Structure 1
Amino acid sequence: MVLYDIAGTLHIEELWAAIIIYSAIAVVLSSTVLALALWRIWRFTVSPILYPTDPKELPYWIPIVGKDFDVPNPRILVLLEHFGDTREPFTLTIAGGQLHVLTNSKDVEDAYKNTSSIGFDGFVQAMMRTLGSSEHCINAMFSYRPHSPHENDFPNPLKKPLGKLTKDLHVRQLFPGQHLDDLCNKFVDFFDEFLVLEEISKMDFATEKTSESIVVPLRMWTSEVFIIGGQRAYFGRLLEDIDPNMARTFIEFDELGWQVLFQYPRFASRRMHAMADKLVANFEAYYGTPKEKRKGDAWFVKAFEHEARQAGLDTHDIATMMLPVYWAIHTNTRGASFWMLAYLVSRPGSMAAVRSEMALAFDISGRVNFHYLNDSCPQFAAIWSETIRITAGSASVRYLTADTVIGGKTLRKHNRVMMPSRQLHFNEEIFGQDAHRFDPERFIRNKALLKGSSCRPFGGGTTICPGRFVSKIAVLTNVALLLQRFDVEFAGSCPFPRFEEGKPSLGILSNKEGDNPLIRLRKRTLPV
């Protein structure tokens, strides 16, 4: 009987203990929910009333951390609808940091003009850290001021720090002139060598090979062509010898590169960092090779290394600095060529018009004159302009060094400002009610569109991409040679690829996974 009483007492004590525990959990949960609800009401209802000049913020549920912008990423056009399409500045909180987004072309123009409180250096330095640059490297890039122009052929009369002088080096290499011509001729040499059936057949993804035709996946093929071509134009063949698979590594890195833009911590972007580390290791091997064994490198590569060594950067530091250069060389050209060919192949009439227009660009030996393509083919140029207008997904990012009023809203110091170009390109007031339709003729009917503030595929302001000239010439040259040598058609039935708008982009949008059309290249009989 006593045992039963003891057992009953223990059972009651356990029951009471369980009740207390569950009650405590319920109190904690209800308190948390209440606190979260009160915080959300304060943050997204009361605060906007009290501070009407602050940009409206996209609501989220996790304080401090903010919105998870992993895939799928909210599209800017969808966010505009959320805010009533007022095109006022709005705010996103991502990984604990605030990002002000500008979608009005006048606001974007004002931001580009403001160099006193909206800076680019902070973003560059953050990106350098993300990609593995040491603090010594970052400090040297923004404090060392090259002062010995007699040691090379690039003066620095304003005594700019190397981080800013680097842009001038890019401009010297990439703006119209002898250095750009040298670079473009390297692209011509590569395409001339590579765009033959025998070379294309060596690629491991090529299928249905015959003596007259071949089938390749358009995305992978254009990517490898432009990565290897750009690599040779800038660095010669040495990088291919160091790592024959470097192009594949870069493709994987590039698809995850948006994580650099949003400064994802390493633990949340392990795959991207793994690919970045492999690319940096290849550049360490490249710069560890004696200069006399590096053949065919571009002027910029030599000039930057000279200045970087003078600044005290070691081989690893220089390698980390070359990764964003390599990235910039390839990310847009491989995407632009993919979409341009996709549009041309789906429009045989446009392809025939381009072939006719570009006929005089080829000499009797079949070598292409890239100056003629760039300057004397208005239909071809219009197709290029429309391709990058409709496929650009890039965004410019700046840092606020002081509270700044733009568009009637106060953007707060230490936050970032993002200016996505894509939504500007679909402004129906500028591009018409058919802004979402591919229509190259719009740039022939209205040449002023290219100079307007709503057409910014390469960014704007003082940081507009200096590579815009070589990108256009390289893509036009590649497409022209391809159409001159081959009849091109889709292989089998495949819908037109869709844009991958679910992921942020630093340049041209990718295609949705699975939307990778196959194309058949068939030798053409060239007119005598």
Structure 2
Amino acid sequence: MSSTAVAVVLGGVLLLVWAARSLTPYHDPREPFLVPPKIPVFGHLIGVLANGTGYYSQMAERYTAKAKDKGGIFTLPVPNGKMYIVTSPSMIAACDRKAKVVSFSVFVVEFARRILAGSSHAVDLLNQDLKEEWEREGKEIGLRQETMRAMHKSLMGENLDVMMRSVMKSLLALLDEAIGEKEEVVEKPLFGFLQDFLTMAGTNFMFGEENNPFQDKEVMKGFWLVDRCYTSLGLNVRPDLIAKEANRGREKFFEAFRKFYANPKALEQASYIIKARYQANRKHGVSLEDIARFDLGVCTALLVNTVPAAGWALCRVYSDENILKELRSGIEAVVFPDGIASAKEKQGQVIKVNMWQVTDAFPLLESFMKEVLRVESNNASARFVLEDTMIEDRESRRSYLLKKGSFLGMPSATVHGSEAAWGSTAKEFDPRRFLDRSKKISPSAWRTFGGGNALCPGRHLALNELTSILAMMVLRYDIEPVERGSGGGWKMPAKGAHISTSILTPAKDIQVRIRSREEVTGLKWDLVWEVDETRKE
């Protein structure tokens, strides 16, 4: 080899070494221990892009023993930054205590910028006071804080009960339309059926049936295209080129919601939460255009986890004859106090199903649904470190430095599988796990709906909706897979990856046969939410 060639090769090697070092930030010994990537510099970034939030859980499982030795947190270096991954409930609690600087707010802003494509004015409003210091400093409440306050108020107490009455009406109407009491067998892709059914049911009770933009099937199609293309849209680099179809779908969504807000009657018929969000946005000078764009976020929160959660719940219950029988018997005991045999005497009559009463009298139903959410949850509660800060694990008494500008993730799959938090059966599916309502679950161990000051305001709505769907399906229908596994049971599909969704959809849908139960054929149904105030906690 000539001296020139040698010089070129050596120069190239030195350049690569320099690039690797310049792209890899300094690791302070006070930070959580470092897990180097298998592919230098870019390995962890590639892992996240390829596997979504599941990558954090994969890494946590791979390094669980080391993570425990180091206090339940470790560092993944990425180009020009680092990611801290938290694996223990006690360390999650430590992060939640530092919520002002280990912040979720940055992700709200970036979501609005990259996915909702908000204007610079609207994004700037959301970007104000990231450390949530407005009250301490005597300032007026900002847009981000006021919107969250409005959402929490809208989804609690009497406002939640009012919403649930609309949910019941919408679910029943759409279920009857999709399946009804057909005597013949209906064959459908399970998750696809639930996607169509729950999208319409959810947006009907949220925006009002008459003017619901999702009545246009192209809007529904556009919304789900956005969900499937989060990674490419989230890059926010020429989405018209790198995510053409999803970008067109997003624009179709925006156009439909612009028309919605241009119609005074539409807003008048919408739910309390939509009106409250509208008022908060208008108070802070947000345009109708941006309000329409922000509703893509509302629909994302409403639908993207509810659909797969309902699907996996149905898979779990119909693939297990024992739990199906137990859930069915418990629901029937409330709906038919004289026994299921009495249903034959009520042909043509309206049977009222009060889901508040069913859930109250038969707690196994809610416990089952919570356990589905526990074992299926795959989110990584995301935070951004706004300034250098020390966090302390009160159990281990270890302290760690978190560097400004770093990402912090708390993968729920890891915490939900923690024996320290859930006992020796942590990795098993136990439908009775949540039966003892007096036993409080640590917020740092139960992360399906996030936690800390980023706890999902719609968690009660989501759980109530899911238990209602499950109850009505179990009560009214039999479901079986078209294709069975080698042992004759359900053949469960592998899950797809997603960069942000908590409950993952299957990589391939499950084709199922749905038929009305003979015992309840011919009955009419009234699904309601009637609260017994003397029993309400």
What band does the TM-score fall into relative to the shorter chain? 0.7 to 0.9
* Matched residue, 2:153: 172
Taking the TM superposition and a 5 Å limit, the aligned residue runs for 1:463-482 are: 463-482=454-473
**Structure 1 residue 383 displacement after superposition:** 0.7
Match of residue 384, structure 1, among 366, 369, 384: 369
Taking the TM superposition and a 5 Å limit, the aligned residue runs for 1:253-272 are: 253-257=226-230, 263-267=234-238, 270=243, 272=246
SS in 2 for 1:398: strand
Q: For 1:461-501, what per-residue CA distance to the aligned partner results, in whole angstroms no more than 9, with x for missing partners?
A: 11111111111111111121222222222233254324526
SS in 2 for 1:233: helix
Taking the TM superposition and a 5 Å limit, the aligned residue runs for 1:74-93 are: 75-83=55-63, 85-87=65-67, 88-93=72-77
Provide the C-alpha distance between the structure 2 equivalents of 1:349 and 1:450, rounded to a whole number of angstroms.
Answer: 27
**Structure 1 residue 347 displacement after superposition:** 0.8
**Structure 1 residue 446 displacement after superposition:** 8.6
Question: Is 1:194–2:167 an aligned residue pair?
Answer: no
Structure 2: segments with no counterpart, 5+ residues: 130-137, 337-348, 394-398, 524-537
* Matched residue, 2:502: 507
Structure 1: segments with no counterpart, 5+ residues: 1-18, 145-156, 202-208
Taking the TM superposition and a 5 Å limit, the aligned residue runs for 1:43-442 are: 51=29, 53=31, 55-59=33-37, 61=39, 63=41, 67-68=45-46, 69-73=48-52, 75-83=55-63, 85-87=65-67, 88-94=72-78, 96-131=80-115, 132-141=117-126, 159-177=140-158, 179-196=159-176, 199-200=178-179, 211-237=183-209, 238-240=211-213, 243-257=216-230, 263-267=234-238, 270=243, 272-288=246-262, 290-294=263-267, 296-362=269-335, 365-406=350-391, 408-442=399-433
Q: Which moved more, 1:344-353 or 1:113-122?
A: 113-122
Q: For 1:268-312, what per-residue CA distance to the aligned partner results, in whole angstroms no more than 9, with x for missing partners?
A: 862554443332232222212x21245631011112212322322
SS in 2 for 1:70: helix
Provide the C-alpha distance between the structure 1 equivalents of 2:65 and 2:20, rounded to a whole number of angstroms.
Answer: 23
More relative contact order in 1 or in 2 (CA 8 Å, sep 6+)?
2
Indicate conservation of the 8 Å contact 1:216/1:519, yes or no: yes
Provide the C-alpha distance between the structure 1 equivalents of 2:214 and 2:377, rounded to a whole number of angstroms.
Answer: 33
Provide the C-alpha distance between the structure 2 equivalents of 1:24 and 1:489, rounded to a whole number of angstroms.
Answer: 71
Indicate conservation of the 8 Å contact 2:87/2:410, yes or no: yes
Indicate conservation of the 8 Å contact 1:195/1:481, yes or no: no
Indicate conservation of the 8 Å contact 1:195/1:482, yes or no: no
**Structure 1 residue 222 displacement after superposition:** 1.2
Give the residue type in structure 2 aligned to 1:302. K
* Matched residue, 2:533: none
- Normalised to the residue count of structure 1, the TM-score between the two structures is 0.81
Provide the C-alpha distance between the structure 1 equivalents of 2:104 and 2:85, rounded to a whole number of angstroms.
Answer: 15
Q: For 1:192-245, what per-residue CA distance to the aligned partner results, in whole angstroms no more than 9, with x for missing partners?
A: 22223x5338xxxxxxx9743211111111111111111001111323466223
SS in 2 for 1:443: coil
* Matched residue, 2:134: none
Q: For 1:23-65, what per-residue CA distance to the aligned partner results, in whole angstroms no more than 9, with x for missing partners?
A: 7566434433355357768998x965x7353541432656589
**Structure 1 residue 70 displacement after superposition:** 2.1
Give the residue type in structure 2 aligned to 1:106. S
Q: 1:221 to 1:303 in 2, by over 3 A?
A: same
Provide the C-alpha distance between the structure 2 equivalents of 1:463 and 1:47, rounded to a whole number of angstroms.
Answer: 30
Give the residue type in structure 1 aligned to 2:519. T
- Normalised to the residue count of structure 2, the TM-score between the two structures is 0.80
Q: 1:41 to 1:93 in 2, by over 3 A?
A: closer
SS in 2 for 1:462: helix
**Structure 1 residue 510 displacement after superposition:** 1.9
Indicate conservation of the 8 Å contact 2:494/2:508, yes or no: no
* Matched residue, 2:342: none
Provide the C-alpha distance between the structure 2 equivalents of 1:66 and 1:492, rounded to a whole number of angstroms.
Answer: 37
Q: 1:525 to 1:105 in 2, by over 3 A?
A: same
Q: For 1:75-119, what per-residue CA distance to the aligned partner results, in whole angstroms no more than 9, with x for missing partners?
A: 334312544533242233456543222122111111112134222
Indicate conservation of the 8 Å contact 1:430/1:454, yes or no: yes
Q: For 1:132-152, what per-residue CA distance to the aligned partner results, in whole angstroms no more than 9, with x for missing partners?
A: 1112112334669xxxxxxxx
Match of residue 516, structure 1, among 510, 517, 522: 510
Give the residue type in structure 2 aligned to 1:509. L
Give the residue type in structure 1 aligned to 2:228. E
Provide the C-alpha distance between the structure 1 equivalents of 2:5 and 2:285, rounded to a whole number of angstroms.
Answer: 58
Give the residue type in structure 2 aligned to 1:170. M
Rg larger for = 1
**Structure 1 residue 127 displacement after superposition:** 1.5
Q: 1:398 to 1:293 in 2, by over 3 A?
A: closer
Aligned residues: percent identity? Answer: 21
Q: 1:420 to 1:433 in 2, by over 3 A?
A: same
Provide the C-alpha distance between the structure 2 equivalents of 1:51 and 1:343, rounded to a whole number of angstroms.
Answer: 46
Indicate conservation of the 8 Å contact 1:214/1:522, yes or no: no
Provide the C-alpha distance between the structure 2 equivalents of 1:93 and 1:239, rounded to a whole number of angstroms.
Answer: 45
Indicate conservation of the 8 Å contact 1:242/1:285, yes or no: no
